[in-house]
């Protein structure tokens, strides 16, 4: 689908994306690049990075890949610095790296819980922490009157509770807290905007194939989605462009669900026709019922 944004809305920006070599991260890398940004992607697997950088370059996007694990502070520091060395500055940090698997709370080891917290929550904080000095206004190479931009990818799992996702729900809740607290502190101190996107089920991603694998998908799966379809990576990337561009210049500390309204969904307990029939009758009965306080027998 064609982007509704002008092709130069991110012209001249330098963006670093963790998890930018695959899934939602790669789509954001691609769309940011198509809208004028230079792209650095960070990931653990060299072959994934190489393929992603080749694909970006084939689209005419200025792109580079850096191997690294967000769980290691030295990797975070090295990749942020390599990005600034390569492109001369840093304007945008996108934290899209994540880990996930389905597991019941009783079967999840504390180390399994910690592993996801380390990748998602601590990793996001570590990257923000290392990027701060380059995102401040007037940071090396930026010469900008405004600070940079941080986008954290979380989820909607923790808005209520999610089966077999205690670790990810905790990790994504922490990410949303980071988004709001950094928006407050770094917005005030450094004019850096910090926002989040909470994707719902997005097709053709590792997340969806892990959380809704073929083995457990049934024909009625889409009935639970208000818009009766899963989202596309493009949907998340367009929201990211809105937030990262000047269109979102007054948006700070927001976490935007991009889930078709799924987190609001509940099973329909009564068909619409039944409501039409029953509601009037119930109302009539209720108006006919004696009003006031029953007479006391005392
Ligand atoms: N069920 C239960 N526990 C699991 C698990 C599963 N499916 N997969 C991993 N774990 C546990 C391991 O048993 C281990 O705990 P233990 O030491 O107590 O046994 C802990 O998690 C760490 O596992 P390990 O395989 O050493 O971690 P890793 O660093 O190699 O991999 C993961 C991290 C597990 C998150 C891996 O799935 C990953 O790399 N994911 C990235 C891609 C991804 O998930 N994308 C989807 C994003 S939405």
Query: Tens of pLDDT along 248-296?
Result: 999 999 999 999 999 998 888 899 999 999 999 999 999 998 877 777 8
**Closest atom of ligand 1 to CA, residue 211:** 48
d(CA 213, CA 24): 18
Q: What is the mean pLDDT of the chain?
A: 94
Distance from Cα 107 to the centre of ligand 1, integer Å? 13
Convert the pLDDT of each residue in 162-198 to its tens digit: 999 999 999 999 999 999 999 999 999 999 999 999 9
What value does the mean pLDDT take over residues 106-127?
Answer: 98
Which of residues 129 and 296 earns the better pLDDT score?
129
Nearest CA to ligand 1 atom 29: 115
**Closest atom of ligand 1 to CA, residue 112:** 21
Residue 138 has pLDDT above 90, yes or no: no
Nearest CA to ligand 1 atom 33: 99
Give Rg (Cα) of the chain: 23
Burial of 232 (0-12, 13-18, 19+ CB in 10 A): middle
Nearest CA to ligand 1 atom 16: 111
Distance from Cα 211 to the centre of ligand 1, integer Å? 13
Mutate to test the pocket of ligand 1, among 99, 166, 167, 207 (most ligand atoms within 8 A of CB): 99
Nearest CA to ligand 1 atom 45: 99
């Amino acid at each position: 689908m064609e982007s509704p944004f002008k092709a130069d809305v991110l012209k001249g920006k330098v963006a670093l994306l963790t998890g930018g070599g695959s899934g939602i991260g790669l789509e954001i890398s691609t769309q940011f690049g198509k809208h004028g940004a230079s792209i650095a992607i960070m990931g653990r697997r060299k072959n994934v990075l190489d393929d992603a950088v080749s694909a970006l370059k084939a689209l005419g996007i200025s792109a580079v890949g850096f191997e690294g694990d967000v769980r290691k502070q030295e990797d975070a520091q090295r990749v942020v610095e390599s990005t600034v060395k390569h492109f001369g500055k840093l304007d945008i940090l996108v934290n899209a790296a994540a880990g996930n698997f389905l597991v019941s709370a009783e079967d999840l080891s504390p180390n399994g819980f910690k592993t996801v917290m380390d990748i998602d929550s601590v990793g996001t904080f570590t990257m923000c922490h290392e990027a701060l000095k380059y995102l401040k206004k007037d940071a090396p190479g930026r010469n900008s009157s405004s600070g940079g931009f941080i986008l954290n990818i979380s989820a909607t799992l923790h808005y209520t509770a999610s089966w077999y996702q205690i670790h990810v729900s905790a990790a994504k809740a922490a990410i949303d807290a980071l988004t709001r607290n950094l928006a407050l502190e770094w917005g005030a101190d450094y004019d850096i905007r910090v926002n989040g996107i909470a994707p719902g089920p997005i097709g053709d991603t590792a997340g969806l194939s892990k959380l809704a694998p073929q083995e457990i998908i049934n024909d009625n799966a889409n009935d639970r989605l208000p818009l009766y379809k899963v989202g596309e990576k493009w949907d998340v990337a367009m929201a990211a462009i809105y937030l990262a561009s000047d269109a979102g210049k007054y948006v700070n500390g927001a976490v935007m669900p991009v889930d078709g309204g799924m987190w609001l969904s509940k099973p329909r307990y009564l068909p619409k026709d039944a409501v039409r029939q029953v509601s009037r009758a119930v109302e009539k009965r209720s108006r006919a019922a004696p009003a006031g306080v029953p007479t006391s027998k005392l």
